[in-house]
């Protein structure tokens, strides 16, 4: 199945969801967030034992499509974009089967933040992870809510600086659970991991996941921050920073 540059295939008894926009490093526009929400929701309601999210090409995902955000010109458009994003996150958080991320390359912005919601994260050893939202005069909503609760003060520092970290460093702070030498090995390990979690957890998901994220209040705060970006993204300073990024004037 292929919908809006998000592919779904069943590998034995696990759904593999692939972000499939390699020419844009799997940056997520409105159509992709909508497709991701629908496909993950469908898989969660099916008979599969787990879901693995990965990317095509050399990136997992660089997060929100900056060009798509820059083009938002009204409250209605911005609210639609970020409410769709929030729905996609809900489909992950409230899924009753385990979800793993197989990180095949660069994970940045919203792509890196999705790792915080996964039950298990396997990354190739040369992966680079970063949260550069501050450089766009925005903020990383998942990192600053559930991320701080999962990773502690280090999450706050990553949000402030936008500095990249490599996969071994991400593993040392708990953002990555396993390292793999190549994307194929990462996917294999992720498939094994979701099956093992499914066998162990049974009916305990999604509440185990929600508690691991800091509980219902933390999840609610995360959603409020996501929806709050609909105001921030329209501010002149954010528009100028996004324009500088698109014109390659902004340090990445």
13 has a pLDDT exceeding 90: yes
- pLDDT beyond 70 at 1: no
Task: Give the distance between the most distant pair of CA atoms in the chain.
Answer: 50
Q: What is the pLDDT of residue 4?
A: 67
Higher-confidence residue: 204 or 42?
42
Question: Is pLDDT above 70 for 43?
Answer: yes
The whole-number pLDDT of residue 248 equals 84
Q: CA-to-CA distance for 75 and 59, rounded, in angstroms?
A: 31
3-state secondary structure the chain: CEECCEEEEEECCEEEEEECCHHHCCCECHHHHHHHHHHHHHHHCCCCCEEEEEECCCEEECCECHHHHHCCCCHHHHHHHHHHHHHHHHHHHCCCCCEEEEECCEEECHHHHHHHHCCEEEEECCCEEECCHHHHCCCCHHHHHHHHHHHCHHHHHHHHHCCCEEHHHHHHCCCCCEEECCHHHHHHHHHHHHHHHHHHHHHHCCHHHHHHCCCHHHHHHHHHHHHHHHHHCCCHHHHHHHHHHHCCCCCC
Give the right CATH number for 2-246 from 3.40.50.1010, 3.90.226.10, 3.30.830.10, 1.10.10.10.
3.90.226.10
- The vertex-42 CA angle with 38 and 47, nearest 5°, equals 165
In the chain, % of residues over pLDDT 70: 96
pLDDT digits (tens, 9 = 90+) for 98-113: 999 999 999 999 999 9
Residues 71 and 20 sit within 8 Å (Cβ to Cβ) = no
* pLDDT above 60: residue 39: yes
Give tens-digit pLDDT for 141-199: 999 999 999 999 999 999 999 999 999 999 999 999 999 999 999 999 999 999 999 99
CB 40 within 8 A of CB 88: yes
In the chain, domain spans: 2-246
- When computed from its CA atoms, the radius of gyration of the chain, rounded to whole angstroms, is 17
């Amino acid at each position: 199945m292929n919908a809006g540059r998000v592919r779904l295939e069943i590998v034995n008894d696990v759904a593999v969801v692939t972000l499939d926009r390699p020419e844009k490093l799997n940056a997520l526009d409105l159509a992709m967030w909508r497709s991701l929400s629908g496909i993950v929701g469908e898989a969660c309601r099916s008979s599969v034992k787990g879901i693995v999210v990965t990317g095509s090409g050399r990136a997992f995902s660089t997060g929100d499509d900056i060009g798509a955000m820059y083009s938002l010109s009204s409250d209605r458009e911005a609210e639609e974009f970020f409410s769709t994003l929030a729905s996609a996150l809900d489909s992950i958080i409230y899924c009753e089967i385990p979800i793993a991320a197989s990180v095949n390359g660069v994970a940045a912005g919203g792509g890196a933040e999705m790792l915080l919601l996964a039950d298990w994260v396997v990354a190739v050893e040369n992966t680079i992870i970063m949260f550069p939202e501050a450089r766009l005069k925005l903020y990383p909503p998942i990192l600053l809510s559930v991320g701080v609760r999962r990773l502690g003060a280090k999450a706050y520092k990553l949000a402030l600086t936008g500095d990249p970290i490599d996969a071994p460093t991400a593993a040392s702070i708990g953002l990555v659970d396993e390292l793999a030498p190549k994307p194929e090995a990462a996917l294999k390990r992720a498939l094994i991991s979701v099956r093992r979690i499914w066998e162990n957890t049974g009916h305990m998901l999604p509440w185990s996941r929600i508690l691991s994220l800091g509980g219902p209040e933390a999840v609610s705060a995360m959603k409020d921050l996501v929806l709050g970006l609909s105001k921030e993204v329209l501010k002149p300073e954010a528009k100028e920073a996004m324009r500088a990024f698109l014109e390659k004037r902004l340090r990445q």
